[in-house]
Amino acid sequence: MTTYTHTDIRAFLDQDQKKDLLRLLTAGSVDDGKSTLIGRLMFDSKMLYEDQLAALERDSKRVGHAGEDIDYALLLDGLKAEREQGITIDVAYRYFSTAKRKFIIADTPGHEQYTRNMITGGSTANLAIILIDATRGVITQTRRHTFLVSLLGIKHVVLAVNKMDLVDFQQQVFDEICTDYKNFVTQLDIPDVEFIPLSALKGDNVVEVSSRMPWYHGKSMLEFLETVHINSDRNYDDFRFPVQYVLRPNQGFRGFAGRIASGIIKPGDPVLALPSGKTSKVKSIPTYDGNLTKAFPPQSVTLVLEDEIDISRGEMLVKPDNQPRTDRHFEAMLVWMDENPLDFSNQFFIKQTTNTTRARIDMIRHKIDVNTLEKSEVQSLGLNEIGRVVLTTAKPIFFDPYKKNKNTGSFVLIHPVSNNTVAVGMILDKLESKNLPSRITNNDKKKIREGKSLISLENRQKKLNQKGVTIWFTGLHGSGKNELAFSLEKELFDQGATAVLLDGSSIRTGLNRELDYTPADRAENLRRVAHIASILNDQGIITICSFISRNNHLREQLAEIIGKERFHLFYMKTTLDYCRKNKPELYEKADRGEVVYVPGVDLEFEEPPRPQLVFDPLENEMNITRILEYLEKNNIFPLT
């Protein structure tokens, strides 16, 4: 029995810590063998514990899909639904290591409806394994997954032609598939493509090169994964340090903590803070084990600067002679991940590096069919759909094109109410203001020429939670209609409604000050008020009007101007004696002939025959309750 000393164990752990990490994803059509391949890699590389092996053998007999053989896919298909259907639904992450390298594998689902799962699994991957069933060749799903891999900026692809045992390990089949795939992949930006024939179930070319395919002179899958060069994939040229925390454990220390997105930094290097533009130099890079002489991605470090600079979370440290784009407008490829389709009326939170701000989607340039790569004009994006869009943020963000820098070129959109991630995006580049798309369509221009609003009535109602209507109070001078109107305005305001009150005093001293009180001018006064009320109603605003409006013919004209469905007539019914007591000065002047054209005295007042509500001025509080109940019952405010 071998005995290991503390030194041996420490040396082993140090060596293991220094091993390179490869993140990879697998993709392919249903039943192409993704989970089986990964399970075989883990099994043949001796990375399973005894209890895992025992459980694997037991489950293979009970729920496996490999006949008498071990079903290696069960190592990854952890969900009950996956095991029952024999497919992958969620993204399954697995870790294993060999003597040369550590691996994190994302086994992603093959179905089109799980595109967002594949995007999630591949967002951090260095390499993608795309499986093809040798009996079916390159199919639609193969092209779709390759496009998504290209969209994610993954530079290394392994085309694993699986199930070669079902085609008698024929080289011709393999070569035809490779030729077909090469013709397609040349349209995309994938610099490194490797082709490996294998049989995941039987283990051919998985860990060891198979003797059953002597015509293949390349590496086995595991050997290729252990040796593929990925260090140059990182951007070591453009220093980007999004600040995540400001550390102040005591008054003598101020450090900026975060993860290096790209580039290399050393003590003494000049840095520039964005957005302030203040400059300084790196004083030190402290760690628990002492100061670092340099730092690089993806290290999480703390930078101490020589000068006191006000920097907060979401800001960025860069080199003064190498700065990212700083802008509010940019184009991006967007993958929609929400069950609800894209609604242009919504604003979102955009999270990019450590920065969060508001953002809106200005337009969709085109949607891309992930199966055919065809582009089409659309008005929205649905679940799992991908489009090229134009976005505008509330404040400038600091970014690089995704192709150049994944960390600073990627973002997520978050719904401000549900807090769900609705989309992920890859920035293409900034957009100059002069090239911004016009948000005014030809149909909008037509509406503008006709003097019609670009905001739909439905959107106004949804935003204000009410319908734009006119509540018209009629009644004699002193009947109490003004008290009720003003009380209603206050109550609606308190409840969150948007209401405007128009009454005789305010209108007569401003808009209609040149009009007198003759019957003709009284009618003109009310006609103008009705037009104002109609305009306010068009904006979704509840308009409260308090005017005598003495006869039925005039009230019908007002309803025609405002719109009969929006005109709600309320009558303050009381006796002339009550009105005289409530406003004695006016009626005494009318009796002496000092004022003329007073309804109820020298002008007739017609009681409305069919008002929506009739009130007694002595019940003001109850009257308010009745009006609120009326508005709710008629779905005016609040909307139901």
- Tell me the C-alpha distance between 336 and 317, whole Å: 31
What pLDDT does residue 86 have? 41
Residue 145 or 534, more confident:
534
Q: Is it true that the peptide bond before 617 is cis, omega within 30 degrees of 0?
A: no
Q: Is the pLDDT of residue 113 over 70?
A: no
Beta bridge partners of 104: 23, 95
The chain-wide mean pLDDT, for the chain, equals 87
Mean pLDDT within 589-603:
92
- Tell me the C-alpha distance between 442 and 446, whole Å: 6
Mean pLDDT within 323-345:
92
pLDDT tens column, 451-497 = 888 888 888 998 899 999 999 999 999 999 999 999 999 999 999 99
Residue 327 CB contacts under 8 Å (≥ 6 apart), including other chains: 396, 397, 399, 430, 431
- Tell me the C-alpha distance between 576 and 587, whole Å: 10
7: in domain: no
pLDDT band of residue 75 (cuts 50, 70, 90) is low
Q: Is the pLDDT of residue 558 over 80?
A: yes
What pLDDT does residue 87 have? 40
What pLDDT does residue 35 have? 74
What pLDDT does residue 550 have? 94
Residue 451 CB contacts under 8 Å (≥ 6 apart), including other chains: none
Residues 474 and 363 reside in one and the same domain:
no
Residues 41 and 134 reside in one and the same domain:
yes
Residues 488 and 629 reside in one and the same domain:
yes
- From residue 371, alpha-carbon distances to 151, 439, 563 in Å are 13, 30, 52
- Tell me the C-alpha distance between 185 and 132, whole Å: 14
We report the CATH number of the domain holding residue 288 as 2.40.30.10
Q: Which domain holds residue 461?
A: 457-633
Residues 494 and 573 reside in one and the same domain:
yes
Residue 239: CB atoms within 10 Å: 25
Element (DSSP H or E) covering residue 234: none
What pLDDT does residue 121 have? 78
Which residue in 114, 194, 100, 197 sits closest to 154, CA to CA? 194
Residues 247 and 330 reside in one and the same domain:
no
pLDDT tens column, 420-463 = 999 999 999 987 766 666 666 677 778 888 888 888 888 899 88
Residues 255 and 369 reside in one and the same domain:
no
We report the CATH number of the domain holding residue 168 as 3.40.50.300
Residues 213 and 270 reside in one and the same domain:
no
Mean pLDDT within 266-276:
95
Torsion sign, CA atoms 584, 587, 590, 591: negative
What pLDDT does residue 455 have? 86
Q: Please give the angle made by the CA atoms of 29, 35 and 39, to the nearest 5 degrees.
A: 155
Contact 319, 280 (CB under 8 A): no
101: in domain: yes
Mean pLDDT within 492-519:
93
Both tokens of 30, joined, read 């249903």
Which residue in 22, 205, 162, 199 sits closest to 97, CA to CA? 22
**Amino acid making up residue 26:** T
* Residue 168 exposed, middle or buried by CB count within 10 Å (0-12, 13-18, 19+): exposed
Both tokens of 165, joined, read 């045992």
Q: Is the pLDDT of residue 53 over 70?
A: no
Contact 477, 484 (CB under 8 A): no
Residues 183 and 97 reside in one and the same domain:
yes
452: in domain: no
Residue 371 or 176, more confident:
176
- Among candidate residues 233, 265, 294, the one where a domain is terminated: 233
What pLDDT does residue 45 have? 66
Residues 146 and 200 reside in one and the same domain:
yes
What pLDDT does residue 40 have? 78
Mean pLDDT within 550-561:
95
What pLDDT does residue 203 have? 86
What pLDDT does residue 119 have? 81
Identify which of 151-155, 297-301, 473-477, 615-619 has the greatest average pLDDT.
473-477
What pLDDT does residue 80 have? 37
In SS3 terms, 13-58 reads as: HHHHHHCEEEEEEEEECCCCCHHHHHHHHHHHCCCCCHHHHHHHHH
Q: What is the pTM of this model?
A: 0.65
442: in domain: no
- Among candidate residues 318, 343, 370, the one where a domain is terminated: 318
Both tokens of 121, joined, read 């699994």
**Domains identified in the chain, total number:** 4
216: in domain: yes
143: in domain: yes
Question: Pairing relation of β-strands 156-162 and 127-133?
Answer: parallel
Q: Radius of gyration (Cα) for the chain, nearest Å?
A: 37
pLDDT tens column, 194-231 = 999 999 888 899 989 999 999 999 999 999 999 999 88
Helices 519-538 and 552-562 cross at an angle (nearest 10°) of 30
Residues 430 and 342 reside in one and the same domain:
yes
13: in domain: no
- Tell me the C-alpha distance between 485 and 534, whole Å: 18
Question: Pairing relation of β-strands 470-474 and 567-572?
Answer: parallel
- Among candidate residues 318, 344, 375, the one where a domain is terminated: 318
Element (DSSP H or E) covering residue 116: helix 115-122
Residue 187: CB atoms within 10 Å: 12
Residues 377 and 497 reside in one and the same domain:
no
Contact 32, 142 (CB under 8 A): no
pLDDT band of residue 85 (cuts 50, 70, 90) is very low
- Tell me the C-alpha distance between 37 and 73, whole Å: 8
pLDDT band of residue 13 (cuts 50, 70, 90) is low
Residue 360: CB atoms within 10 Å: 17
Residues 409 and 495 reside in one and the same domain:
no
297: in domain: yes
Q: Is the pLDDT of residue 89 over 90?
A: no
